[in-house]
């Protein structure tokens, strides 16, 4: 398997030829398929793909982790390039989602016009879905651990009122190759430990986790979790002998990454625009 980071919050120093933005998009090459996981906040992921020598016309299908703009904003650009690939997404992507803090209320949902304009390209899911024997989309999660604290600022519109988001629009991509299970999360709004535990329930294979963990304050870019809670989370991962590697970035944030690194060391890798991982 090869994973190429088409766009992410950060990029390597000196890579002026690549764009970075607060968003996430990964190109996944398996033994049989080419998969696009999320599309960033804009079409810049496609510009990076061209720079990196990735032909988006070769993408077999797209998986959208959840219905926030920083993971869906590049869909129209993708549709202009690739006119066949289907997009797997939760039905609740049709909802309205907001980030609300004090006097700030920001629309963070996906563009509803995309859902209407390209309605024939979407496969809407209401439950777990098996694409094939090795590729599964998980839509329900265990709730053993706390969810990210910043979730309290995220709302959905229900009957003309804003209510706390339950993140039913979130899913997890699991790809099994040989003896390893690759678990892709977008922002882990259900809590990364809950998603890891769910992946373990699905399979007893060794696990590689790739995605964001939602531990950064989107306004200050500081840590949104208590330092002790990040240490406790990293400790759980460190003690989990079935986890081979963690590759994270985007909404995890640099401060949380540094705290995790102190405990996980070489078990931890960082997502940056343009970098790739081969297994």
DSSP at 153: G
Q: Can you give the CATH number for the domain in which 32 is found?
A: 3.60.15.10
**Cα(25)–Cα(127) distance, integer angstroms:** 23
Is residue 183 within 8 A of residue 209, CB to CB? The reply is yes
Whole-model pTM: value is 0.97
β-pairing verdict for 172-177 and 129-132: unpaired
Question: Residue 226: how many CB atoms within 10 A of its CB?
Answer: 10
β-pairing verdict for 206-211 and 243-248: parallel
Give CA torsion, residues 155, 161, 166, 169, to 10 deg: -80
- Number of domains within the chain: 1
**Cα(20)–Cα(11) distance, integer angstroms:** 6
Q: Residue 39 is part of which domain span?
A: 2-278
pLDDT tens, N- to C-terminus, the chain (279 residues): 999 999 999 999 999 999 999 999 999 999 999 999 999 999 999 999 999 999 999 999 999 999 999 999 999 999 999 999 999 999 999 999 999 988 889 999 999 999 999 999 999 999 999 999 999 999 999 999 999 999 999 999 999 999 999 999 999 999 999 899 999 999 999 999 999 999 999 888 999 999 999 999 888 888 999 999 999 999 999 999 999 999 999 999 999 999 999 999 999 999 999 999 999
């Amino acid at each position: 398997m090869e994973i190429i980071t088409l766009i992410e919050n950060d990029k390597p120093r000196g890579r002026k030829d690549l764009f970075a933005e607060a968003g996430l998009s990964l190109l996944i090459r398996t033994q049989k398929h080419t998969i696009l996981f999320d599309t960033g906040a804009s079409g810049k992921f496609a510009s990076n793909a061209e720079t990196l020598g990735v032909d988006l016309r070769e993408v077999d299908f797209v998986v959208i982790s959840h219905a926030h703009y920083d993971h869906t904003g590049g869909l129209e650009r993708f549709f202009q390039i690739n006119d066949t690939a289907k997009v797997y997404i939760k039905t609740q992507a049709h909802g309205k989602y907001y980030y609300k803090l004090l006097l700030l209320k920001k629309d963070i949902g996906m563009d509803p016009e995309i859902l209407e304009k390209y309605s024939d390209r979407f496969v809407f899911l209401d439950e777990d879905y098996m694409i094939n024997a090795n590729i599964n989309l998980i839509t329900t999660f265990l709730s053993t651990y706390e969810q990210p604290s910043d979730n309290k600022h995220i709302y959905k519109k229900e009957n003309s009122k804003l209510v706390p988001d339950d993140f039913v629009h979130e899913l997890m991509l699991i790809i099994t190759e040989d003896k390893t299970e690759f678990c892709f999360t977008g922002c882990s709004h259900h809590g990364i430990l809950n998603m890891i535990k769910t992946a373990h329930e699905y399979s007893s294979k060794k696990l590689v986790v790739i995605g964001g963990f939602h531990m950064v304050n989107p306004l200050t870019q500081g840590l949104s979790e208590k330092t002790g809670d990040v240490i406790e989370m990293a400790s759980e991962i460190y003690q989990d002998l079935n986890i081979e590697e963690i590759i994270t970035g985007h909404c995890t944030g640099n401060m949380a990454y540094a705290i995790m690194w102190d405990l996980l060391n070489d078990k931890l890798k960082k997502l940056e625009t343009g970098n790739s991982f081969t297994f």
